Structure 1
């Protein structure tokens, strides 16, 4: 759901609060080293560890972390901050809010998808073979109503009434759009 940049910014934002310039410089150096290591490992085609299933993504995340740590270091130097405070970082705060909005949108979309799946579980999809006489009647009714035969059958099924003793009937109706 999140890009490598999103993952890097989110992880760093949780780590950086209160760090001074020296600590941030260490993080820049660590990220640079890890970026080189993962890029080299990716070039050689080896795996990073048993826990990392996507070496390309890991390399992209470390590259993004390196860029983000550098951005924070430069911001602190430019603005003369003694320690990093996320609330003062306008770009970082904006990105965090955008990530949260995308996350919330994705959660809403996922919930809607799950609701549709639950509804579909109650639906019945079937293939129906009718003999010639009933088939002609359904086609004629569909032609008169300007519908497809399957639409007439769906309307017919929606109107089925189950009686006592297991009888099934359909009250008279006119198929419509």
Structure 2
């Protein structure tokens, strides 16, 4: 599951801001403002990115996007604190942030469940044996007749036949007589 820059920023600010006083939140907003401006400027600058520069990320655009998202989230937290007259930030009192966190948790659980189901399907597919059978003309006619009487395709009759195979101790394979059915 891939989180957006906003998801990452919301999660980081929620964790970092827990118990943070209003003055420290203001400092975080100021730092995010500077980082957003610097990464955006370096991204727009002509020429290659200098080693040791601000943008050491393999993707400078991703870094600039991340700082823009963090800046927006710190500003949202600061505005919430001012509007609610909080002296410290408490993530549990942030209804918007809590709703987003719950949504991320649900999306993560859904992604994990989908991944587990995908792995199970792959495991089951790996256990399957698929084959192609070439049947002689005489046996093919008998197979088609049996399938027609049962209202099945020849492939369905063969699948039922294979499902009834018994392997003896000596490795000999046999099938007890049966009538193909739906």
**Greater shift after overlay, 69-78 or 94-103?**
94-103
- Report the number of matched residues: 175
Q: Of Structure 1 and Structure 2, which has the larger fraction of its residues in helix?
A: 1
**Greater shift after overlay, 148-157 or 70-79?**
148-157
Provide the rounded CA distance (Å) in 2 between the counterparts of 1:16 and 1:167: 71
Structure 2 equivalent of residue 111 of structure 1? 116
Structure 1 equivalent of residue 35 of structure 2? 34
Query: Where in structure 2 are the equivalents of 1:15-30 lying within 5 Å?
Result: 15-30=16-31
Calculate the TM-score normalised by the size of structure 1: 0.84
Structure 2 equivalent of residue 14 of structure 1? 15
Provide the rounded CA distance (Å) in 2 between the counterparts of 1:119 and 1:28: 51
SS in 2 for 1:169: strand
Calculate the TM-score normalised by the size of structure 2: 0.82
Of residues 73, 90, 94, the one that matches 1:89 is: 94
When residues 137 and 33 of structure 1 are mapped into structure 2, their CA distance, relative to the original with a 3 A threshold, is farther
- The C-alpha deviation readout for 1:75-95, integer Å capped at 9, x for no partner, is 011111111111111111111
**Greater shift after overlay, 123-132 or 10-19?**
123-132
Of residues 69, 76, 79, the one that matches 2:74 is: 69
